[in-house]
């Protein structure tokens, strides 16, 4: 909403109200009198009683009528009443020796009776007319009711968009797939002369923060075309038909600016699968989706308009919008690998002074699973920490501290912990760390800490993955389960008791074991059959009629198999920790002393010891 226009409208309303109030109050002084319940009979009685001090007679033009104002002795309030015979009243007060005055007949006030009402009426008419005109001409908040059906997309011109594909680090394959779109927007004739049908839509799918929106802006900037941006939720309103109207208006505006790109962020807000809500076919979201389907590949012709959309819930989109002719290209924007993470870190570190000890390659190695947004946030938190400590540069310690803060939670060094709890935590975390170091497929240890964190953990053990795994092997999954159980095992070995600190570890181990049995077919007893629940059934309509894809007998067998995996992993992990019990004690003592140790200090405890090598578990 234009703030200046809003203030002008409020000022005009206030001025008109003030004029009306002044006019009414001004007129009341001339045109009204407080007659009350006083009469001529009461006047005669007061004259006889001697309480009347003075009388003012104000005859009308149509004599002998008029108004009589009576003043009393003793400080009583004056009263005014109307009389049909002012001459008789004059005679009455004269005969009784009462002081009186006869005022001239008041002439008609032209200003009050004629000019002011006309002026006020004209002002009100002009004000109402100007307000109505502004509402029709304005497309902002001044006319929200009359512009409900207007598109809320923001238009960014080619000159304003400075982002190019070179500004997007990583995503090499994704950028290559979008190159054809850029070429079409630049030279559409090269494609049409050989009979090629240009893609009408590009769907970018991937986890949050992987750079889908940035890619879309880079395509528009590279092609040098206008760029319409809108969120899927901007189409949906409580009034039926508004969303469909906004879709029509958006494509109408895009046709005027063709060739151009329409980018719809979070398209799953409006393009969910139809027939799954509680509103039936008249649901507002479905009406909006139907109009979008028609606009993208219906009876209309959208020459030079490419629709790009982003979502991280592609599984819930309607099949009609996913077919060729609507979203022809489906590009998966994956999480960056180690090389891409290093490139992204370099981009975000351009305007940040780094110390000589900062190793971005090592940071990329320790941030497996981080998206581009996570990496940007990591360096930003590091810069904030450096500025808080009044330093002009970022060192490696800032990045390490920020990594802990972002991934695990802020360390609470001031929290008071008893010596017993500190000792339990030290043995618990060392149990994890020993298995991280000994087992060949789960990566070495990076940091072990017994400092409580903001997420409620009493400590943490951070591994250092050497590679990004595209898939998980059965051996690695079993070793992950063993690592998860290591803390619980160390508590049992040392204290002969167990605590609640391993609850999240047990949950993680159980979920992984169940996935091995029901999803990945890694159990010889259950077989290569998928018994996993259908994750696509995320709607109310599907959930009501959902049926399990296995019998109760199979469910019991699955539970037995999951328990067998956990039990075997527990036994093997306990055997390994007992083998390195001396390291368990030494590492725990070092942790109690220092609260946090790194890879070099921990691995030094294994000098002269032989690692078991490959560990096989028959499941």
String of DSSP letters for 32-100: ----TT--HHHHHHHHHHT-EEEEEEEE-SSTT-EEEEEEEGGGPPPEEEEES-HHHHHHHHHHTT-EE
Same domain, yes or no: 262 and 394 = no
User: For 514-535, what is the mean pLDDT?
Assistant: 84
Task: Determine whether the annotation assigns residue 210 to a binding site.
Answer: yes
322, 399: one domain: no
Residue 11, token pair as written in the block: 């000022």
Query: Is 212 known as a binding-site position?
Result: yes
Confidence at 151, pLDDT banded by 50, 70, 90: low
306: helix, coil or strand?
Answer: strand
Q: Which residue from 535, 484, 489 is spatially nearest to 511, judged by alpha carbons?
A: 484
Q: Is the pLDDT of residue 211 over 90?
A: no
Q: Are residues 315 and 357 in the same domain?
A: no
Predicted pLDDT at 30: 45
Task: Decide: 566 and 481 in contact? Cβ < 8 Å.
Answer: yes
Between residues 113 and 130, the one the model is more confident about = 130
Integer Cα distance of 463 and 447 in angstroms: 7
Give yes or no: 253 in active site.
no
**Predicted pLDDT of residue 55:** 83
* CA separation for the pair 490, 574 (Å, rounded): 8
Tell me: is residue 456 an annotated ligand-binding position. no
Q: Is the separation of the CB atoms in 297 and 306 below 8 Å?
A: no
Residue 208 among known ligand-binding residues = yes
**250-264, 332-346, 407-421, 445-459: the lowest-pLDDT one:** 407-421
Cα-only R_g, the chain: 42
Q: What is the CATH number of the domain that holds 348?
A: 1.10.8.60
Contact criterion met (CB below 8 Å) for 375 and 201? no
Q: Are 272 and 317 in contact (CB under 8 A)?
A: yes
> Taking the CB of residue 321, how many other CB atoms lie within 10 A of it?
23
pLDDT mean over 549-576 = 90
- 587: closest CA among 401, 410, 432, 408? 432
Residues 428 and 521 in one domain: yes
Considering the domain architecture, whether residues 468 and 590 belong to the same structural domain is answered as: yes
pLDDT at residue 241 above 70?
no
CA–CA gap between residue 146 and residue 133 (Å, rounded): 12
For 481, half-sphere exposure in the C-beta direction (CA atoms, 13 angstrom radius) is 27
Long-range contacts of 501-509 (CB under 8 A, 24+ apart): 501/424, 501/425, 501/428, 501/458, 502/428, 508/484, 509/480, 509/481, 509/484, 509/485, 509/566, 509/569
pLDDT digits (tens, 9 = 90+) for 244-261: 888 888 888 888 888 888
pTM to 2 decimals?
0.65
Structure confidence at residue 158 (pLDDT): 60
pLDDT score of 35 = 47
Same domain, 572 and 456: yes
Residue 534: partners with Cβ closer than 8 Å, 6 or more residues away: 546, 549
Residue 433 assigned as binding residue = no
Give the number of domains in the chain. Answer: 3
For a pLDDT cut of 70, what percent of the chain falls above it? 77
Q: Which of 205, 284, 342, 429 is catalytic?
A: 429
What's the CA gap between 64 and 298, in Å, rounded? 86
Look at 293-307, 482-496, 557-571 and tell me which has the smallest mean pLDDT: 293-307
172 and 255 in a single domain? The answer is: yes
Give the largest Cα separation in the chain, rounded: 138
Are 327 and 344 in the same domain? Answer: no
Token pair for 164: 């190019």
The mean predicted confidence, pLDDT, of the chain is: 79
432 is in an annotated binding site: yes
Do 207 and 327 fall into the same domain?
yes
- Would you state the pLDDT for residue 574? 94
| pLDDT tens digits along 388-439 | 999 999 999 898 888 878 777 677 666 777 888 889 999 999 999 999 999 9
Which two three-digit tokens encode residue 565?
Answer: 């995996």
- Backbone conformation region of residue 465, classed left if phi is above 0, alpha if psi is from -120 to 50, else beta: beta
Contact 482, 435 (CB under 8 A): yes
* Domain span at 393: 338-407
pLDDT-based confidence at residue 179 (cuts at 50, 70, 90): confident
- Is residue 144 situated within a structural domain? no
Q: Are residues 200 and 316 in the same domain?
A: yes
Do 446 and 559 sit in the same domain of this protein? yes
Could you tell me which residue, 611 or 434, shows the higher pLDDT? 434
Tell me whether residue 282 is annotated as binding. no
Residue 139 has pLDDT above 50, yes or no: no
Q: What 8-state DSSP symbol labels residue 286?
A: H
Does the residue 431 lie in any domain? yes
Task: Reduce the DSSP state of residue 463 to 3 states and report it.
Answer: strand
Q: Indicate if 460 and 555 belong to the same structural domain.
A: yes
Asked if residue 206 belongs to a known ligand binding site, the reply is yes
């Amino acid at each position: 909403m234009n703030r200046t226009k809003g203030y002008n409208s409020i000022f005009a309303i206030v001025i008109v109200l003030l004029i009306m109030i002044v006019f009414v109050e001004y007129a009341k002084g001339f045109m009204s009198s407080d007659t009350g319940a006083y009469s001529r009979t009461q006047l005669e009685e007061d004259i006889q009683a001697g309480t009347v001090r003075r009388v003012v007679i104000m005859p009308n033009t149509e004599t002998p009528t008029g108004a009589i104002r009576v003043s009393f002795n003793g400080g009583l309030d004056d009263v005014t009443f109307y009389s049909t015979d002012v001459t008789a009243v004059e005679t009455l007060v004269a005969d009784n020796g009462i002081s009186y005055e006869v005022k001239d007949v008041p002439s008609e006030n032209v200003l009050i009776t004629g000019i002011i009402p006309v002026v006020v009426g004209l002002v009100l008419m002009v004000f109402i007319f100007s307000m109505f005109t502004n509402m029709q001409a304005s497309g902002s908040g001044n006319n929200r009711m009359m512009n409900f059906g207007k598109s809320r997309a923001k238009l960014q011109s080619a000159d304003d968009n400075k982002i190019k594909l070179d500004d997007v680090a990583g995503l090499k394959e994704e950028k290559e797939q979008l190159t054809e779109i850029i070429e079409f927007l630049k030279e559409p004739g090269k494609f049409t002369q050989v009979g090629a049908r240009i893609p009408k839509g590009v769907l970018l799918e991937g986890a949050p923060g992987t750079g889908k929106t940035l890619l879309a802006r880079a395509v528009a900037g590279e092609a040098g075309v206008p760029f319409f941006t809108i969120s899927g939720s901007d189409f949906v309103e409580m009034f039926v038909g508004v969303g469909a109207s906004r879709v029509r208006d958006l494509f109408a505006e895009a046709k005027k600016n063709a060739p151009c790109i329409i980018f719809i962020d979070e398209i799953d807000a409006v393009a969910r699968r139809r027939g799954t809500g509680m509103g039936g076919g008249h649901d507002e979201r479905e009406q909006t989706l139907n109009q979008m389907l028609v606009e993208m590949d219906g009876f209309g012709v959208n020459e030079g308009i490419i629709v790009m959309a982003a979502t991280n819930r592609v599984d819930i989109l309607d099949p009609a919008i996913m077919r060729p002719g609507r979203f022809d290209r489906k590009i998966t924007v994956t999480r960056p690998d180690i090389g891409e993470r290093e490139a992204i870190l370099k981009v975000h570190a351009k305007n940040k002074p780094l110390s000589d000890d900062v190793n971005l390659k090592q940071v990329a190695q320790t941030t497996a699973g981080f998206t581009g947004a996570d990496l940007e946030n990591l360096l930003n938190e590091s810069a904030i920490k450096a500025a808080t400590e009044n330093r002009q540069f970022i060192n490696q310690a800032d990045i390490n501290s920020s990594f802990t803060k972002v991934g695990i939670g802020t360390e609470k060094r001031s929290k008071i912990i008893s010596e017993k709890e500190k000792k339990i935590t030290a043995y618990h975390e060392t149990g994890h760390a020993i298995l991280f170091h000994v087992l060949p497929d789960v990566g070495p240890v990076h940091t072990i800490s017994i400092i409580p964190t903001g997420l409620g953990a009493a400590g943490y053990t951070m591994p250092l993955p050497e590679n990004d795994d595209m898939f998980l092997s059965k051996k690695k999954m079993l070793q992950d389960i063993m690592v998860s159980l290591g803390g619980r095992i160390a508590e049992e070995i040392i204290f002969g008791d167990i605590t609640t600190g391993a609850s999240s570890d047990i949950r993680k181990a159980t979920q992984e074991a169940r996935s091995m049995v029901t999803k990945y077919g890694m159990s010889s007893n259950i077989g290569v059959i998928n018994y996993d629940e259908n994750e696509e059934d995320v709607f109310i309509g599907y959930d009501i009629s959902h049926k399990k894809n296995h019998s109760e007998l199979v469910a019991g067998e699955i539970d037995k198999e999951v328990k067998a995996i956990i039990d075997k992993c527990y036994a093997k992990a306990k055997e390994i920790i007992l083998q390195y019990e001396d390291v368990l004690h030494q590492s725990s003592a070092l942790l109690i002393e220092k609260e946090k140790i790194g890879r070099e200090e921990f691995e030094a405890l294994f000098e002269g010891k032989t690692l078991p090598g490959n560990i096989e578990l028959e499941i």
